[in-house]
Structure formats: structure tokens, C-alpha cells
Chains A and B, each alone.
Chain A
Amino acid sequence: MGFKQLINSKKTLSLLAAFVLFGTDRLMAQATAAAADTAAADKSAMWTGVGYYVLLFLVAAFCVAILGKILRVYDLTQQMQGKKGVNWNGVMGICCILFLIAGMYGAYWSLTVQGSMKLPEAASAHGGAIDDMFTTTTILTLIVFVITQICLFGFAFVYRGSDKRKAYFLPHNNTIEKVWTIVPAVVLTILVVFGFFTWQRVENSSEVKGDLNIDVTGHQFAWEFRYPGTDGKLGSLNFRLTTPLNKLGVDFKDRNSFDDISADTLVLPVHQSIRLNIHAQDVIHSVYMPHFRLQQNAVPGLPTFFKFIPTITTAEMRRKTDNPKFEYLLYCNKICGGAHYNMQRVVRVVSQAEYQDWISKQKPYLTDQLKKELHFADNKTAVPAASNRLALNN
């Protein structure tokens, strides 16, 4: 009886498949015809492409269906002969252990092959501490990862069910529960304490004498750099003063701004304490310099800072990475619009001497044109009063 039904269903199934195949055929033929009409050759190619994948999918689905039917036939014949059918529980248990083995190998492969593609060693003084902490955390978590996954799939395999056994009634065990609450708590406390102090050190960006202040300003979709001149001080900013020539809105009432320098590469003297003054003009951007383990968002209306000491020059890093074209990069890491994916500048770490040489060749921010504009504007409109329009909310 069951068999009869089965044969029937198999017939209908193959009929259906044939029908579907025929259908796709027709569809493709139609599409080709239509394409020929509009004389768009690539259109027809497109539909053949799509049709090809649809067909592939149907074939796969068909194979799965056939396989399913075969398994059912097997199951039924076994049952008719009074034997047990496929023991799916056992099969799934074995799948679990196979997955465990394959998965562990896969994770190992991924960790070694892809893991070796990670960033090279930190090129900043604070980066070393971060990398050490990363290594510690990795080791600890990997141990937990391996043990827990082995338990998970190992138990699933070992304790796969059968009618003969009964499970072990174990509602709780206070001792072991205490152990596995306290042990993670202690380990995490250690990680937190180290992390906390490292974080406080890294984030300390208060200004100290001798810091080289550099202005980094993000806007859609580029970064602007401004270096202080010989006075070592950056002139202050006021966004209301922004004009096509005074792109950053530098306030020239502040004498410190007269000798400021603009640049389009971030050149940094090695072993010098650098303090980035980070601004954004339109939306939030993020200054990301992963080689230095450095990231800080650029927020409109909220200047942020990041202080660090580069320790490896570009030339050295080229040697270390065995890549003569290596460059440090600064790129945007906060979604900021359509061209977010291409908002980068080269960062170059050089010796003090090279730096002095480079900075002396850079153009002043206060160009002759800008001077003219300012002079002209000087007596007409001074800086608009601090606030000529109160925001509605304050």
C-alpha cells in the first residue's frame, strides 16, 4: 500500500520536474526572443546567465528530492522486512563529531592562514601594550573556545540517544556552579584591571610641553592637515569663518594662526609625541590609523584628541614587512556618505631631520589670496558675534 503511494508520488514528482525544466526552457527562449527584438545582445546574455543559475538550482533541488525519495524507499523496505529504518539519531550524532573535527581543523587553518594576514606589529609606543593584551586575550579565549566546543559536540555525539538508556537526572550541583561562576569572574577581573589602566594611559591626551600639535579635519570626503608654524602653536578655529579659501575656518584674529602650515600628507617625526586635534565639519568621521592602534571619531562641534608616539619609520616598516610599497594610512572609519570607502591619506613616519626638511617646504595656510580676501573683509564684516542665532533648543 505504502509502496503504491510511493511510486505514485515519485511519478508525479518526475512529471513536475520535467514540467519545470520545460518551463525554464520556454522562459529562456522567450527571453532570448524578446532580447533579439530590442537588439540588446547583453540582455539576452543576461537572461541566459540568470536562467543558467535558476536551472542549476532546480537541478540541485531535484537531486535533493530524489535523494529524499530514495532514502524513504530504503526506510520503508527495511521496515517492511521488519528491520529498523535509518537510525537518524545516530547519523546526526556522527555528523556532530565530524563537524567538530572538520570545524576545529577549519578554525586552525583560518587562524594560521588568515590570521597571519593581520596588521604588522604596532608602530606606536602605546600599541605594544595593546598588542600584548590582545595576545593574552586571544590565548585565554581560544582555550575556552576549544574546550566548550569540544564539550558541546562531544557530548552531543557521546550521549546520542537510544531507547535502551535513560538520561541521568541531574537538576543542579551547587559546587560546580560556583566554580564556573567564580573562575570566569576572576579571569575577567584580571583582564578588566589591565585593560582599564592601559586604556587610561592610552587615552590621556592632555597637552604637555613639547607635544607636536597637528590639526586633522574631516569633511565629505577628505582629510585636511594643519601644522603649527615656528611658534609651535595652532591658531584657533571658528566654523562661521569658513570660506572657499579659508576652508577650515581659521580665525586670523589669533596671531598664532599666521604661520600655520597646510599639508596633504601626514608626515610625523619618529619618537616625537604627537597630539592630533581632530575636527569634523559636516558629519561624523573617524580618524583610523590601524598601524598605530589609533582611532578617534571626528565629531562636528566637539574637538577630540589623540596623543601617541610613532616608533617605526615608514622605511623601517617597509623592511619589516618586506613590502617596498608599504605606506601607513589614515582612513575614515565612520560611515559618512557615499564616498566613505575612499577617504584616505598617506601617513609617513620619518626621522627628525627628514621631518624638518619636509616641513620647511610646505605652503603656509595663509595664502596670498586668502590674505587679500581677509584684508578686504576686515573692515566690512568682522567675525559675526559669537552667536547670531540661538538654536531653538537652548
Chain B
Amino acid sequence: MSTLAVHDHGVVHHEDGHEHHHKATFLNTYVFSQDHKYIAKQFLVTGIIMAFIAMSLSILFRIQLAYPDKSFPFLETLLGHFAPGGRLSPDFYMSLVTIHGTIMVFFVLTAGLSGTFANLLIPLQIGARDMASPFVNMLSYWFFFIASLIMLSSFLVQKGPASGGWTIYPPLSALPKAMPGSGMGMTLWLISMTLFIASQLMGGINYISTVLNMRTKGMDLWKMPLTVWALFLTAVLGVLSFPVLVAGVVLLIFDRSFGTSFYLSDIVLGGVPQPYEGGSPILFQHLFWFLGHPEVYIVIMPAMGLSSEVLAVNSRKPIFGYHAMVYSLIGISVLSFIVWGHHMFVTGMNPFLGGVFMITTLIIAVPSAVKTFNWLATLWRGNIRFTPAMLFAIGMVSFFISGGLTGIFLGNAALDINLHDTYFVIAHFHLVMGSAAIFGMLAGVYHWFPKMYRRMMDERLGYLHFWLTFIGAYLVFFPMHFMGLDGVPRRYYAFTEFESMKRWLTVNVFVTWSAIMAGIAQLAFAFNFVYSIFWGKKTVQNPWNANTLEWTAPIEHIHGNWAGEIPTVYRWPYDYSKPGHDEDFIPQTVPFSQTMSSNLPHDFEDNPGGLEEYTKWTNAQKANEAVK
């Protein structure tokens, strides 16, 4: 009832607001647009650019790892005093890893992924004219944009960007004397992240209220596509956990600039005892990971939602176990708040506490496993159509399996003793988070590109892009497991100082070249993306024969999404290949009365009136048969 009321209000408001807030100028159409579809594209393009930057940074440090003794004059030309004599300096190496991680996790896989698809799909898939608050939505993008600029500007600082790792543990990050990156670079990092969090909160609150209040008629929660479920729960996680990082960051700013000791105690720098007292570095880690762990699910859940949708559409089959998929998303969301301690098993946290976190951590693997099995069951006996989006969704599942399984090692505190902070952890999260989430995002881009740009991307370039990236990612990350098992630590500038680690050099060279290959493959994507925006084949309204609402909206983007009334929803979004129906899909807007021959008793579980009609119809059918 309330849903309806709000929705009606929205329409009315829209109708009579039409005259005055619709003077389209260049600025409010192409820059400060408040249209969710345009903001989605802004997030996407910014996210892609940030991804290319972060990827280039990784290639730079991969070169250092593969050729620790070689000098590349080119690097000096490019980077100046950060690479004296053509070799990265150790401090700058640390900056590269730090900024690479920060950009990838936050700017690409959080803002770029959620920002793009929550903006594009939430209103279009639930049948709303726009976000609950389009203005705040616009602010969300611009805060993100400014945060990105500030983060990148730290490369212009004399002493270089922040360099304490993306987790910026104090005291290293709190003491400017501890390393060059902890000076101005860290200040910029903290400012940038504060703005970023503001952006996330504005976006998140909008996504939540839009999903809760603005669904079209008939769109109850159990008729929402999994994309919307995933994006909605992601927003909830973000809104609940990002503020905790703000607290952590603010205390760190106090420690850095105002002489407090929240995180500092018993410190001797350069032989001189410092006045800090009574703080605890572990406190920061608790605050950081209280966000940090939900954050990794903030990254993966949208990718799960996008992949679920893409897998169902292109297998021409309903997603297997829709309810289980939703409940597992909810389970993951709840549990992800009580597992953060698994990042801190060996930090000196009370071992008993470590034991408890280990139990909760391994519990969270259960819903993850359920999701995986359900995806596999969705493929089973499908009629699979290999669009590039489908391939990326399959790749996402493959990475999620490979990386998720190593989580079971790491989640076991006793095993983590030897694995913590080694390349094993790098392999784990680059597969399960990095690669899987990027693949989910790319699946989304290929799939909804026609919705965003009204043209199709080139399929064959998409295939090339997929296979090179997929194989490249495995070649890069798979061998890292074994380096970790040999006790090779992450965040090492070079392995030349250890006799025992030198034998990994050939592997490092191999990994670097694989990374370069995968990196070059992204140019195929960039080309395809830009080319298709302008010259791609024009799309039809529903190019994938999908059921969800966004494909009922006109190809031409109009403010308010649907000309005239918003369509009403009658059924769940996964009626693919339903027996008894002539086509292999039935959009959500088709009432059951039009599909009598394919209805099932199950369709009327909470609809007694419908069930009565259905029984009447089947009885009539039977009677007919008998007469004949």
C-alpha cells in the first residue's frame, strides 16, 4: 500500500514538475546531470579510467619484481626522482602498491561497480522514474570524482603518495618520519577517502530508499531480480560499515596532526623516545577491518547479482534456487559484520577471540558455497548463448571458486599463522575479489551496454578480450599460491636479499609477462567500448530477450524512463523456457492471464484468487479433452 502511495506521488510530482525543472542546458545534461542513467555512465567511465590507471601502476611494480637488478631509463623519464637511475625506489614501490590497492578496491570495485549498476539498474529494474533523491545522487558522483582527483594528485607531492599499504596501519601511517609516504601523501589519502566515504553514503542511502519505497505496482520484494537484491544489500552494508572507517580515519588524523595518541604508544623513533602514550595500534585494525571485511563483500555482491542475471538470461533458464540465492546474500551480509578478526589472527589479538572469528569465518563459506552450486545448476541443461557477457559471468564463477577455496585455508587460524601476509593471501583475494568482481563488472558492461549507449559492443573483440584476460589472470595469480606456501612475503620490494627466494625469480618474470599480456588485452576492451559508443551497431529494444523491466523502457533515454505509465509487474523475472509457452521468455510485465498454457500451480503460491482461476482453467481444459 505504502509502496503504491509513494509511487503515485512520484508520478504526480513528475507530471507537474515537468515545466520548470526541465530546462535542459549543457551543464545540467552533460555535467551536473541528475538523471540516474547519465550518472551511471559517469561512474562507469570514471571507474574505467581509474582501473586503467591502477592497472598501469601494477605493471610498473611487476616490472620491478621481475627485473630487480635491471635499470630502465624509460622509467626515470617517466617518473623522475621516484625512479632514480631507471629503477623504482623502494619507497615509491610501496606507494605504487598502496595506491594500486586503494584505487582498485575503493574507486573501481566499489564506486565504479556499485555506482554504475546501482544507478543504472535499480530504477530501471524496479520500475521507478529516478532515484529517491536525484540531487544527492548527483552529489555522490561529484564527491567521488573529487576524491579520485585528490587521490591521483598525491603523485605530484614531492615525497610521493601514501605508502603504508591500502590498509594504512598506524603507527607507520601516523608518523611522518616513519616513511616518506606518511607525510603529505598520507594526508591526501585521508582527505580523499573521507570524501569518498561521503560519496558512498549519499549513494547508498539513495539506493536503499529507492528500492524500499519506489517499486512499481506488483513489484514486491520477491519479484525483484537478483541484481537489485544484491545492489540493495550492498548499499546496506556500505551504509552500516563505512561510517566506522570514518571514525578510524578521523582518529588517525587527530594522531597525525593534533598530538593525540589513539593508536600510538611506547614509540622510539631514530633512537629518541616519543611522548605518545596509552594508545593501541590494534584499535585501528579493528576499526579498519570492521569496514574492511564488509567492504570485500560490498565489492563482490554486485558482481554476484550481475552474474546471476547474466547467467540466467543467457542459459535461457530460471536462476536455480532464487530464494536460496536471496537468503544466501542476506546471510553473507549479516555474517560479514562478525568475521573481521580473521585479518588479525596474528596481530596480538587475544587468541580466544581469534578462535571465535575463525568459527564465524568458516560459517560464511556455507552461503558462498550455496551460491556457487546454484550457479552451476543454472547452467545445467540450459540452452547457453555465449555472449561476451555470458563468458565473463562464467569466468566470474570460476574465479570465485578458485579464490573462495583458498579462503578456507586462510579462515583457519592455525593455517593462517604461516600464510598471513604472504603471496598466498595475494592469490586468494585477487582471484576471489579482484578477478571475480572485475569479471562481474565486465559482464555487466557487455550486457547492459545497449541499455546505456543504445548500441551494441562488438562480440568478437569481446571474445578476444575475455579469453586473453581470463587466461592471463589465472597465469598471474595461480603460481602466487605456491610462493606463499614457500613463505614469500607480500609487499617486498625485491627478493634479491634472500638466497631462498631467488629461485622464484623465473616465476616472477613469467607472472609479469602474463600481467602485461592481460593488460594489453584491456586495450581491446577500451577500443571496443569507445568505438561502440559512437559507431556500434544500433540496438533493438530487448536485444537479449530478457524478462526484466529495463528492457521495456524505450531505447531512447527519456527523463523519467517510461513515457506514460510505468509498467506493472505480474511475475518473477526468471520465466525463461517455461514449458507450454511458445517463446523462451516471458517478461515480468506479462500477466498470467495471457499465458494460461504455461502457468504452474507454483506461480500462485501467495495468490489464492489466481490459483482459483488456474484450477478453473485446467479443469475446463481437461473437460475439453474428455469431450474430444
Contacts and interface: CB of A to CB of B under 8 A. Distances in A.
Given A118-B482, A170-B317, A188-B408, A195 B324 contact: no
Contact of A195 (B74, B415, B507): B415
Nearest to A164: B383
A171 to B, nearest CB: 4
B171 interface: yes
Contact of A294 (B347, B417, B524): B417
A325 B499 CA distance: 9
Contacts of A333: 420-422, 489
A159 B383 contact: yes
Interface string A180-211: 11001100100110011011101110000000
Interface bin, chain B = 35 or more
B20 interface: no
A299 B281 contact: yes
B52 interface: no
A320 B161 CA distance: 46
Contact of B358 (A162, A199, A301, A331): A199
A46 to B, nearest CB: 4
Interface in B347-389: 347-348, 351-352, 354-355, 358-359, 362-363, 365-366, 369-370, 372-374, 376-377, 379-386
Given A89-B385, A89-B386, A300 B267 contact: yes
Question: Which of B268, B317, B420 has the largest count of A CB atoms less than 10 A from its CB?
Answer: B268
Given A68-B461, A282-B175, A282-B267, A299 B282 contact: yes
Contacts of A199: 351, 354-355, 358, 412-414
A168 to B, nearest CB: 4
A192 B359 contact: yes
Contacts of B89: 338
A286 B485 contact: no
A203 B351 contact: yes
A391 interface: yes
Interface stretch (B269-277, B298-306, B536-544): B269-277
A49 interface: yes
B384 to A, nearest CB: 5
B487 A290 contact: yes
Interface string A142-173: 00110011011101100111100111111111
A272 B178 CA distance: 37
B218 interface: no
Contacts of A140: 408
A161 B383 contact: yes
A202 B417 contact: yes
Contacts of B499: 325
A50 interface: yes
B67 interface: no
Contacts of A153: 394, 398
B412 A137 contact: yes
B9 interface: no
Given A46-B73, A115-B485, A288-B489, A329 B500 contact: yes
B489 A284 contact: no
Interface in B244-288: 258-262, 264-269, 271-273, 275-282
A202 B489 contact: no
B366 A195 contact: no
Contacts of A46: 72-74, 77
Contact of A156 (B277, B324, B394): B394
A341 interface: yes
B577 interface: yes
A288 to B, nearest CB: 7
Interface string A263-297: 00000000000000000011110101011011111
Interface stretch (A16-24, A239-247, A357-365): A239-247
Contacts of B461: 68
B394 A96 contact: yes
A339 interface: yes
Nearest to B314: A161
Given A166-B584, A180-B373, A296-B348, A145 B401 contact: yes
B321 interface: yes
Interface stretch (B106-114, B127-135, B230-238, B490-498): B490-498
B169 interface: yes
B486 A118 contact: yes
A114 B315 CA distance: 37
A326 B324 CA distance: 53
B460 interface: yes
Interface stretch (A128-136, A225-233, A347-355, A371-379): A128-136
Contacts of B463: 88, 92
A239 B273 contact: yes
Interface in B170-220: 171-172, 175, 178-180
B415 A130 contact: yes
Contacts of B324: 172, 177, 181
A80 interface: no
Interface in A369-392: 387, 389-392
Given A167-B584, A196-B355, A301 B405 contact: no
Given A159-B383, A167-B577, A282-B269, A299 B348 contact: yes
Given A93-B386, A118-B485, 10 more contacts: A99-B471, A114-B482, A170-B318, A184-B366, A242-B268, A296-B348, A301-B265, A301-B280, A389-B277, A391-B276
For the complex of A and B, the 6 pairs showing the least CB-CB separation, nearest first, are A301-B265, A290-B487, A203-B351, A92-B386, A391-B261, A118-B485
12 contacts: A46-B77, A110-B482, A130-B418, A165-B383, A170-B380, A173-B321, A177-B321, A191-B408, A242-B271, A284-B171, A301-B267, A333-B489
Interface of B: 72-74, 77, 89-91, 94, 164-165, 169, 171-172, 175, 178-180, 258-262, 264-269, 271-273, 275-282, 315-318, 320-324, 346-348, 351-352, 354-355, 358-359, 362-363, 365-366, 369-370, 372-374, 376-377, 379-386, 391, 394, 397-398, 401-402, 405-406, 408-409, 412-415, 417-418, 420-422, 459-461, 463-464, 467, 470-471, 474, 478-479, 482, 485-487, 489, 491-495, 497-500, 503-504, 507, 520, 523-524, 574, 576-579, 584, 602
